[in-house]
Structure 1
């Protein structure tokens, strides 16, 4: 049997060669049924419709961490890397492996079968979920209020304007305290209210 076709990277799916430069962190968008060889297909956000078809070993890793009900996987994050040592059809081709996951309490290591004779201990780390820093939402509210009141400009100008409103100055929006933010919003809304009623 000539396996040369099996060695050609399919452009319709995520391949190990896509991860040669660096691992990727991706959000799971959907999980669907595959075929006998790759029974599960995982769609990832931002992969241009190219799904990840995990090996049985990697499915066991995911199921160990998140359970076997695939609906619960949606919206969670995986960090995927290329392991160049993975053998497919007797040839060292590399494979996509999970190296970190969100929604797990601690790092873990489980045995994963490489082939009929070899098992390796596969380690997965906790992948911290991205947190939106509180100041970003606060700054968005301030810029929205300033824009609604007719103020214009880039981030630096808006920061200066926000400071002028209450007689303060900052070198970065994350320096604005919650108390000052409330004062700015109140003052801007009051000014806006007076102008619209004038």
Structure 2
């Protein structure tokens, strides 16, 4: 019996404790603004709507490897693990770390802060890109953006809407090129109202 699901913490986001049993490989569906403590929220395919809220150290790792434009991360893979040595408020609480990434030419090592006084050399390995349907993450990101902009409907209707946004027409989401996907995301996000400021 695989008990991995029983280890998952009851939370609205991915936690280090979720990775106690083993690392996971996840596909990035999109990234969005977070709050002051966790400024970027990364949506992952197949995580039951529970996003990853990376630390600033892990954001620096991702930016070093893939650049600072988060739309370019969509469809790419990360291997995440719990590092129990991560310290917060003077105690070892653990943290989610990236140990491998797709779409990088070679392994790399960069300094990452794990506490106020401690920096470690963090190593990231090359993660082989899957041979299976990478368009799924891209399509999920488009659907997420359309929904956030107030569009609704089933997948067929959303596909038609995505095409109308840039003057294109597809009979299946897997026909959307990466270039067209970026155009759709950029156009839809321009039309998405900013979140109201917190009171």
TM interval, short-chain normalised:
0.5 to 0.7
Q: Please, which runs of 5 or more residues in structure 2 have no aligned partner?
A: 1-8, 133-199
- The count of corresponding residues between Structure 1 and Structure 2 is 124
Equivalences for 1:174-193 in 2 at 5 Å? none
SS in 2 for 1:100: strand
Q: CA deviation at 1:130?
A: 1.4
Give the TM-score normalised by the residue count of structure 1: 0.61
Number of the residue aligned with 1:125: 125
Who wins on radius of gyration, i.e. which is larger? 1
Per-residue CA deviation, residues 15-41 of structure 1 (Å, 9 max, x unaligned), is 000000000000000100000000000
- Distance in 2, matches of 1:72 and 1:104, equals 13
Q: Please, which runs of 5 or more residues in structure 1 have no aligned partner?
A: 1-8, 133-198
- Distance in 2, matches of 1:59 and 1:86, equals 15
Q: Verify the 8 A CA contact 2:86 2:115 in the aligned structure 1.
A: no
- Distance in 2, matches of 1:40 and 1:131, equals 28
SS in 2 for 1:79: strand
Runs of 4+ in 1 over 6 A off after TM superposition: none
Q: CA deviation at 1:116?
A: 2.3
Q: CA deviation at 1:10?
A: 5.9
RMSD: 1.1
Q: Verify the 8 A CA contact 2:22 2:81 in the aligned structure 1.
A: yes
SS in 2 for 1:106: coil
Number of the residue aligned with 1:62: 62
Query: Is 1:48 the equivalent of 2:42?
Result: no
